Amino acid sequence: MQDIPWLKPVVHDFCTQLKSQHVGHAYLIGVHAGYGGEPLTLAMAKAALCHTLTQDGACGFCKGCQLVEANTHPDLYHVVADGNQIKVDQIRELCQKLTSTSQQGGRRVAVISLCEKLNLAAANALLKTLEEPGKDTLLLLQSNTPSRLMATINSRCQRVHFQSPSIDEIKAWLSQGHESGADVTWCLPVMGGPLELASALQDQRYEHLLQLRKDWTQSLSSGHLCANLMNINDNQVSDAIKVLYLILRQKLVKQTQLDALMRVKVSELAAKVMNTYHKLSVMPNVNSLALFQGFILEYKQLT
């Protein structure tokens, strides 16, 4: 957390609320995991349970902090998805626990990670606790995509104010752990955020993304799918589709000479590519060869 500079103002504001005793009972942390949504949420939970809070967060030394660090704090509850969903039984169990007396004599804090995965029954089960949380109860709901939450959940939570870092700030942060003369931020939309990009730079995934960019550029130029894209494995399909989307969007930005009709057609193809990506999670089997060849054919026809 301390190494992610764009999260510090959020923690500072939250600590100010804690110190002034103007803290809310439920917060929606709409910060993508790739930008630090998870460590931010846990830092807020730790601050809420700290006995000697500082302006910049939990002290790290008191009993409350030590219990959180050891993952044994009896008044901290963490809910994560069971598979692809957060299920109603998980939320009912959480709500029941939040009715009990605090074992450490302070707050009871519940963290719900990726709360957009709440299924309908689970979301409805959470509503009553959000409306009447009980004394000294704090709920922290982290979400990569807050727009997917039920409006009734959204309206019952305070939103944390988060300012996304600029590209220059991200480059400066990445340079601390990765020395490179090249701009690696081109693939941020593929990775989801700088934290995931930093992780990719430590393994072979970033090199694979560079190869995908080269392969798609060659294939779009020639009108024929190159060998690498023909032999891609199932685990790489999502990355390949997102890289294609970035190339098409970049074409719209950089090729200002494109006429209005052509820009519309390229934009529509880019939208179709991204829509296909979003459908991947519910596709039982994907014929990537046919899918990629279809994209190349459509591009060839419109150009």
CA nearest neighbour of 159 among 5, 2, 13, 3: 13
Contact 107, 137 (CB under 8 A): yes
- Rg (C-alpha) for the chain, rounded Å, is 23
Structure-block tokens of residue 207: 């090199």
* Residue found by looking up tokens 């590209």 in the block: 167
Contact 26, 130 (CB under 8 A): yes
115-167 confidence digits (pLDDT tens) = 999 999 999 999 999 998 888 999 999 999 999 899 999 999 999 999 999 99
pLDDT at 179: 65
Q: Is residue 223 classed as helix, strand or coil in its secondary structure?
A: coil
71-94 confidence digits (pLDDT tens) = 999 999 999 999 889 999 999 999
52-77 confidence digits (pLDDT tens) = 999 999 999 999 999 999 999 999 99
The span from the CA of 49 to the CA of 59, in Å, is 10
- For the entire predicted model, the pTM comes to 0.84
227-246 confidence digits (pLDDT tens) = 999 999 888 899 999 999 99
Total residues belonging to the chain: 303
Structure-block tokens of residue 44: 């807020």
| E strand or H helix that includes residue 28 | strand 26-29
pLDDT at 2: 62
Is the model's pLDDT at 254 over the cut of 70? yes
268-294 confidence digits (pLDDT tens) = 999 999 999 888 866 767 889 999 999
Structure-block tokens of residue 220: 């779009």
Of 102-111, 159-168, 237-246, 248-257, least confident by mean pLDDT is 248-257
Partners of 108 in the β-ladder: 137
179-222 confidence digits (pLDDT tens) = 666 788 988 888 889 999 998 888 888 999 999 999 999 999 99
User: For residue 55, with 0-12 CB atoms within 10 Å meaning exposed, 13-18 middle and 19 or more buried, which class applies?
Assistant: exposed
pLDDT-based confidence at 95, cuts 50/70/90? very high
